[in-house]
């Protein structure tokens, strides 16, 4: 089982790796910079090398670096789109120093321009940044579809991917809270949802899972994460997700409302589960 949680980069790269091990994790996620999209601290090459050594020595599953969630690659304003482009280029240059891991981003909000225009902007941005993704997969996150968010339907992600040239490095990160909120019934029809994912996008594109329970009901189109077993998905459904043959080898990252102690408990709970 490859499981970990979201960690803060405040103490550096190697510190996150040590922290993950102390929590019982063998993967983790981090924001490449403040979620608000501010400047990234120049990464210390020795710190990155120390993390690389730890990842290899302790056989970590791939990590997930998360782009600032305030980026909007399909903003109406050209300045905002340029900002997203610049941040993603910088982030991918950094991740070239952590090869074999993933860079995950939210497709963005079309803010009234319509899905078609939004999809076109996102694909245009990916066509510009993807050549910089050396040795790192770039993942589109499945979203709940709240407001004008793109990525609430698998078809929208397929459309983006299909418009990117040389899209071999593109993949998808499935967020269980988002997908359930978007109206894909992971609780009563997990096989059906994965069959649909395979038909529309292709399961070979699925590279990571954000494992979250949801505070809001099925198909609510909200984005409110809950602790594992304390939301509308529930522990049984989460257990079936963890052990599903199509998913079980992927990195699972918790983004539940927890401090470190809570994450340690959730990781222990999940590692203690057995396939039904």
In the complex, which residues of this chain contact Fe ion (CB under 5 A)? 141, 175, 210
Residue closer to Fe ion by CB (options 110, 210) is 210
- Give one DSSP letter per residue of 117-171, joined into a string: HHHHHHHHHHHHHGGG-TT-EEEEEP----TTBS-SSHHHHHHHHHTSTTGGGEE
Q: Shortest distance, CB of residue 141 to Fe ion, whole angstroms?
A: 5
Residue closer to Zn ion by CB (options 194, 254) is 254
Which residue, 209, 219, 276, 212, is CA-closest to 249? 209
| Phi/psi at 200 (5° precision) | -85, -50
Residue closer to Fe ion by CB (options 141, 266) is 141
Helix (H) or strand (E) holding 252: strand 251-254
What does 223 bind: Fe ion, Zn ion, none (CB cut-off 5 to 8 Å by kind)?
Zn ion
How many angstroms separate the CA atoms of 209 and 64, rounded?
Answer: 10
Q: Shortest distance, CB of residue 225 to Fe ion, whole angstroms?
A: 8
Q: Shortest distance, CB of residue 57 to Fe ion, whole angstroms?
A: 28
What does 159 bind: Fe ion, Zn ion, none (CB cut-off 5 to 8 Å by kind)?
none
Neighbouring C-beta atoms of residue 118, cutoff 10 Å: 28
What does 210 bind: Zn ion, Fe ion, none (CB cut-off 5 to 8 Å by kind)?
Fe ion
Q: Among all residues, whose Cβ is closest to Zn ion?
A: 223
SS3 letters across 213-226: EECCCCCCCCCCEE
User: 3-class SS at 100?
Assistant: coil
Q: Shortest distance, CB of residue 212 to Zn ion, whole angstroms?
A: 7
By CB under 5 A, name the binding residues for Zn ion. 223
Residue closer to Zn ion by CB (options 158, 178) is 178
How many angstroms separate the CA atoms of 49 and 70, rounded?
Answer: 29
Which residue, 54, 42, 48, is CA-closest to 98? 48
Residue closer to Zn ion by CB (options 222, 264) is 222
Q: Shortest distance, CB of residue 106 to Fe ion, whole angstroms?
A: 6
Residue closer to Fe ion by CB (options 14, 176) is 176
Residue closer to Zn ion by CB (options 223, 266) is 223
What does 213 bind: Zn ion, Fe ion, none (CB cut-off 5 to 8 Å by kind)?
none
How many angstroms separate the CA atoms of 177 and 142, rounded?
Answer: 10
Q: Shortest distance, CB of residue 49 to Fe ion, whole angstroms?
A: 28
Task: Tell which phi-psi region holds residue 185, choosing left (phi > 0), alpha (psi between -120 and 50) or beta.
Answer: beta
Q: Would you say 129 and 108 are in contact if contact means Cβ atoms under 8 Å apart?
A: no
Q: Shortest distance, CB of residue 146 to Fe ion, whole angstroms?
A: 13
């Amino acid at each position: 089982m490859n499981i970990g949680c979201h960690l803060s980069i405040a103490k550096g790269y190697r510190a996150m790796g040590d922290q993950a091990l102390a929590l019982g994790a063998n993967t983790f996620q981090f924001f490449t910079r403040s979620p608000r999209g501010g400047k990234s601290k120049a990464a210390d090459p020795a710190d990155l090398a120390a993390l690389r050594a730890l990842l290899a020595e302790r056989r970590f599953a791939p990590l997930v670096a998360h782009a600032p969630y305030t980026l909007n690659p399909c903003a109406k304003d050209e300045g905002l789109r340029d900002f997203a482009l610049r941040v993603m280029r910088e982030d991918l240059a950094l991740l070239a120093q952590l090869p074999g891991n993933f860079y995950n981003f939210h497709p963005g909000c079309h803010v009234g321009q319509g899905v078609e225009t939004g999809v076109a902007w996102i694909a245009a941005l990916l066509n510009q940044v993807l050549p910089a993704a050396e040795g790192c997969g770039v993942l589109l996150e499945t979203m709940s579809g709240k407001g004008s968010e793109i990525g609430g339907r698998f078809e929208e992600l397929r459309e983006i991917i299909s418009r990117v040239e040389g899209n071999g490095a593109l993949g998808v990160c499935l967020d269980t809270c988002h997908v359930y909120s978007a109206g894909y019934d992971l609780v009563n029809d997990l096989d059906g949802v994965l069959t649909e994912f395979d038909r529309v996008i292709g399961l070979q594109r699925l590279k990571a899972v954000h494992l979250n329970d949801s505070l809001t009901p099925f198909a609510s189109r909200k984005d409110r994460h809950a602790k594992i077993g304390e939301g509308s998905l529930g522990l049984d459904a989460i257990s079936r997700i963890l052990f599903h043959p199509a998913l079980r080898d992927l990195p699972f990252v918790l983004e539940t409302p927890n401090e470190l102690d809570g994450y340690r408990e959730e990781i222990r709970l999940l590692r203690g589960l057995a396939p039904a």
